[in-house]
Structure 1
């Protein structure tokens, strides 16, 4: 979508994710009924917010609370760009469990954990966010927003048994669609608590755990000569392109480049 001073590219899928590049003044004062998260990638993203002009540099995160008046402009003569998403407050409802909507003073943050969570949701706009990953992300975002607002991490008991049941279920069904509903049925708990507990014990979200285990299985098949399309089908990816995107996003190289690397290693030319 073209704009008078730039362009906005929207992402695939039902969730409102986008990439924007602007020169000069991008937006007149306006409001949203959603949270807006915008990860600055280029230039200086400046905006009037709650009576002051704020500035976000590359690598920093803009966080606008619902129904807060704001505008948008370049902070220098250079263009500014960002990737972002809009999230309805009700998507945090279960994760907040009665807590008030968190408010980030100043409308920006350099919190590494918060930035990493948003980055994971907007780094691949060509691929819709899996429902399993979105549910887990909403829980993690809500918790981290509250922690940034209060300066205190949330301390709560962990249901180890539920996490291990969820893990075992995913490992047994890697070639099938895995949903939060299925994991709720297996564990007997809520998806919100499971998402928190799973990351606490396994170091990652349920969706990312599933993706990485599928990639592990795909690597074995690919190393043994299985065509990419067949490896994708056998390990639960929608098609060869999906496998390739996930492979490169997680390992930094395409499957074909990785196979060549394996061949080079086998011949002993890069082993130190």
Structure 2
């Protein structure tokens, strides 16, 4: 907790956990940070350890993620977050793919993995919360073995899935997306380091710029230019976790310099990439 007169600050640290489905982990303390609308390719599963986060998704659903609760966001769900209290919030998160979860559960099948979802973004389950908390701390430890890290994360995440997830309904990411939007999104994904024009997108999608903009926002939840920035920042985070130097990360993600990369990265994660690297 901040002392009287101490300025608010945001802190975040990422690392990759190859022992559990090559997932990404985050520990963060956000005093003032507000996430812009964005979506994850993976499940985002975590525990709020202090304060509370205010959540809102692209469909207008609102929730408060309070201290002592687990929080889960499904892949492809556009959402934003901000402090729900003056003190902000602290949390620990794991980002893991649906396919990674199914492998850990001993299941297979891409279709089944893509239909796995959590119906609630806030979960009240003290036992699973404690399992998750200890597993996350273990992953951060330099003394724990890979076997212990994998065992604890597998037990915690799989218990959350078996107790609180459902199957049989398609996730937002694979719901009925118009063909033109799908083509435009795939074009952006393949040209993240470039500066694709709206003309190129509309030509690839086979739709007029006006109709593509409307359809893209309706289907994906954000405009094409916002989606491009999100994908650039995500790729920058992945390269950061691989240990790549910031200068090469900026080049590979299409930024003109490290300063531009740092500003965009901070807008999404609350801290510049130099502070987020473990």
Query: TM-score category by the smaller chain?
Result: 0.3 to 0.5
For normalisation by structure 2, the TM-score amounts to: 0.46
Which structure is richer in relative contact order (CA contacts within 8 A, separation 6 or more)?
2
The structure with the larger Rg is 1
